[in-house]
Amino acid sequence: MNLWTILFIALALAMDAFAVSIASGFAIRRLHARHALSMAGSFGAFQALMPLLGWFCGIRLRAWITGIDHWIAFVLLSFVGGKMIVEALKIEEYEEKTNPFAWRVLLVLSVATSIDALAAGLSFAVLNVSITAPVLIIGLVTFGMSFAGVAIGAKGGHLFEKKIEVLGGVILIGIGLKILLSHLLGR
């Protein structure tokens, strides 16, 4: 897997963390740099750890699924991408006011926004991709986007968060389709 593909996967995986960061920045009246750093650090760490966990699980399964690995990668990435699109298009009826920077809330948000990275890690394993570069890139990209998201949200960027999640979902589906077609067409 080349660096550009890993970077696009990292960007797509970071989209939901970015959208949550925007909404969190929008929700806080007196925003400080420590807010952005704590959210970016937590999201970046979880986004880096989840693919590693998925990769370790996938390594154990790889021998049994080698013949269909391209289909598994396609299904996983398409499922995660589709889920991101559906969740972005949902109409929220009630939004409870909570402090997104409280450590318990931040922990829940970090896990929730990184579950899709677990599936990506499984895909890396079945495709026999070394996990070092993806983990570093995914963690750093998520950190940067989350930090920027909090700042954008503080400036009123709440209007764009749904579109960003849809874009992330489309990118993941596109990468899954590229993997499948590359295998089926022998490229």
When divided into structural domains, the chain yields a total of 1
Indicate whether 111 pLDDT > 80.
yes
Indicate whether 77 pLDDT > 50.
yes
Q: How far is CA 112 from CA 4, 32, 41, 135, in A?
A: 26, 24, 15, 18
DSSP label at 158?
A: G
How many Å apart are CA 39 and CA 21, to the nearest integer? 7
Indicate whether 115 pLDDT > 90.
no
Indicate whether 40 pLDDT > 90.
yes
Exposed/middle/buried for residue 66 (C-beta within 10 Å: 0-12, 13-18, 19+): exposed
Indicate whether 94 pLDDT > 50.
no
pLDDT of res. 170:
80
pLDDT of res. 98:
63
pTM of the model: 0.74
Helix/strand/coil for 131: coil
| Domain containing residue 48 | 3-89+97-184
DSSP label at 67?
A: G
Average pLDDT over residues 107-135: 88
CATH code, domain with 34: 1.20.1250
DSSP label at 91?
A: P
Express each pLDDT in 41-76 by its tens digit: 999 999 999 999 999 998 888 777 767 777 877 887
Structure tokens at 147: 């930090």
